[in-house]
Structure 1
Amino acid sequence: MDLQRKSPVAVHGNVDKETFLREIYPLRKPAVLKGIHLGTCTSKWTVDYLSTTGGSQEVKIHVASVPQMNFINKNFIYRTLPFDVLVKRAAEETHTEYFISEDEKYYLRSLGVDQRKDIADITKQFPSLAKDISIPEFFEKNQFFSSVFRISSLGLQLWTHYDVMDNLLIQVTGRKRVVLFSPQDAPYLYLTGDKSEVLDIDTPDLGKYPQFAKAQCYECQLDPGDVLYIPDPLWKISEPLATILFLALWFHNTVAKEFGVGVNVFWKHLPADCYDKTDTYGNKDPLAASRAMQILDRALKTLEELPDEYRDFYARRMVLRIQSKSYSNHYK
């Protein structure tokens, strides 16, 4: 990628809730937060401690023979392992026991007991570890959605995607590289749903994905104890009409520079009825957005009834009508 199109993520030190809400949150841009008290997890969560304290309950994991996991082609398999065994394997570079290959990569994204109905909550799935971490209270308690426990093998790269809730990525151990893209650059990311088809963001195939060269990326490294704030949709309610305006989304891609453990905390910052009540992962589009996309799909299907030149003409008119709304002004 053109180095001129890379920018660093802003870094802030010793941020409290008041500072976050007053100076960082309104900008709707990613920010690395340093010097936040996270409890004893940053010193305690060694491989030995995690494997002995975290328990031996079965956990569902992603296993891949290559570091670059992607959800579009699903180049990984799902397997289950006892948690203590997973920790030890994920910390190894070469395995004596494995599913695919001796250098396979592991990724844990914790789930609720019943992933169809229950959200991930570290206090419920890993209570013995939860007591070690102090989650920054940058949101009201009734806004809490989930706290996702994550473990990554060295070198593991996760596909570029967006979430639908604001969240804090707490890097407890290990270093992680994070690359983010503004929602304004969505047209250049070749999206399939909430995921980008461009898997190699550092040396992309510009013959296949020429528009990706236009994307501006923001990059940071998370060290142990760092917290990354990732803004997602912001809806602004203006009185008295309660008009809801869509403001921001951020795509992100992560690479584990070392064996790493983290906790992702998501919270609901939209009115409750905006969310899909069946969403346990926190990644389903808001209900209004889903309805709009369904309507658009039906409209495009209807255009197929026309001859090519008519279909092209009216599709362009639809694009112009959307652009005339100037939603992009709200990103400024």
Structure 2
Amino acid sequence: MKCQVDIVENCSKDTFINLLQPKRRPCVIKGHDIGTCKDKWTVEHLCKAGGDTIVKIHVSELPQMDFLTKNYCYKTLKFGELVKRAAEKRHNDYFFSETEYYYLRSLGVDARRDVADIKQQFPSLADDINFPDFFPEDSFFSSVFRIASENMQLWTHYDIMDNLLIQVKGRKRVVLFPPTDVECLYLDGDKSKIMDIDKPDTEKFPLFSKANRHEVFLEAGDILFIPALWFHNVVSLEFGVAVNVFWKNLQPELYDKRDPYGNKDLVPASRAADSLRHAMKLLSSLPDEYKDFYGRRMVESIKSQTYNSNA
């Protein structure tokens, strides 16, 4: 089912905090001042300003990156060289082929411990972009610089924090699915196994047709609010530059302190999943008839105590 994504013009802080965020639905914010980056961040300027910074990137010969088959490799390049190549459709310098695709998801200085922060990793560019003041300053978690080749598609996944996707350059298609569609998306961790959401394998993924698809096209200067747990699939329709801003919209103690990417499930949820795995192991020792019976009882118990009846 296709569903509409709301569009809001000139959104104020009060409107976002009191009306938009509580709805727990994605929306596109237009007309907000994102800074001089919209005009300033040309390919030439980005190459010069961030030039020699070494970045770790995804490189693939196919535009649709597949985390299951790992049809991409991790490589390192100088930031300026990455920008130049990502903006090209055909390359003189390349790793695998002259038509390969590039994707940057910026990392902290120490990727295992530090969060991505444009002010730390790209100080020469940080002053060019304005982050909306839609959340308390002390709840800020990360600002993730993203650069992608034209037609590059990133797999469907969810994040555990609210975030704003600020589209600086290029057009982008974003398809979103609500958290209540989790049964339809065939998860592997925080990612969906359905790589082609436009032409899915209906025999392998029969429930996907029931998912509520929210599709939106972003233009340069647009901001997309993606609430925590909403699944999203992103295609760069043109060479794209964007910055994601994530913040802790819940109590800080609920988040894993050892998680620099901000994609580990909340601490209580992780503990519950561990307990469930232990319960499954215990039930596996029973005969099939009993295992089926007690498994169904557990499912009903989980539904009655956790499902949102209003969803």
The interval holding the TM-score normalised by the smaller chain is over 0.9
Q: Return the offset for 1:70.
A: 2.1
Matched, 1:277 2:273: no
Residue 55 of structure 1, CA deviation: 2.5
Q: Give the drift of 1:119.
A: 0.5
> Which residue number in structure 2 is paired with residue 163 of structure 1?
159
Q: What's the counterpart of residue 152 of structure 1?
A: 148
Q: CA RMSD in A?
A: 0.9
Q: 1:75 aligns with which of 71, 74, 90?
A: 71
Letter in 2 for 1:266: F
Query: Is 1:222 aligned with 2:218?
Result: yes
Q: CA deviation at 1:329?
A: 2.3
Q: CA deviation at 1:270?
A: 1.1
Name the structure 1 match of 2:170.
174
Any residues of structure 2 matched to 1:55-204 within 5 Å, and which? 55-204=51-200
2:204 aligned residue (208, 211, 230): 208
Structure 1 position 314 matched with structure 2 position 294: yes
Aligned length: 311
Contact 1:190 1:198 in 2 (8 A): yes
Letter paired with 1:11: I
Unaligned runs of 5+ in 2: none
Does structure 1 retain, via aligned residues, the 8 Å contact 2:51–2:81?
no
Please say if residues 72 and 195 of structure 1, whose CA atoms lie closer than 8 Å, have aligned partners that are also in contact: no
CA distance in 2, matches of 1:313, 1:75: 41
TM-score (norm 2): 0.98
Distance 1:103 1:230 in 2: 31
Contact 1:147–1:263 (Cα < 8 Å) also in 2 = yes
- 1:324 is paired with a residue whose SS is helix
Equivalent in 282, 305, 309 of residue 302 of structure 1: 282
* DSSP-derived class of the 1:312 partner: helix
Shift of 1:152: 0.5
Q: Work out whether residues 184 and 328 of structure 1, in 8 Å CA contact, stay in contact via their aligned partners in 2.
A: no
- Which residue, 255, 260, 284 being the options, matches 2:240? 260
How far, CA to CA, are the matches of 1:102 and 1:33 in structure 2? 37
Distance 2:155 2:58 in 1: 13
SS class of match (1:297):
helix
AA paired with 1:20? F
The Cα of 1:289 is off from its aligned counterpart by 0.3
**What is the identity, as a one-letter code, of the residue corresponding to 1:195?**
K
**C-alpha separation in 1, matches of 2:286 and 2:67:** 35
- Distance in 1 of aligned mates of 2:252 and 2:310: 22
Amino acid at match of 1:145: F
**Where do 4+ consecutive residues of structure 1 move more than 3 Å?**
none
- Which one of the candidate residues 3, 9, 16 is aligned to 1:13? 9
Q: Which amino acid aligns with 1:144?
A: F
Give the Cα separation in 2 of the matches to 1:271 and 1:157: 33
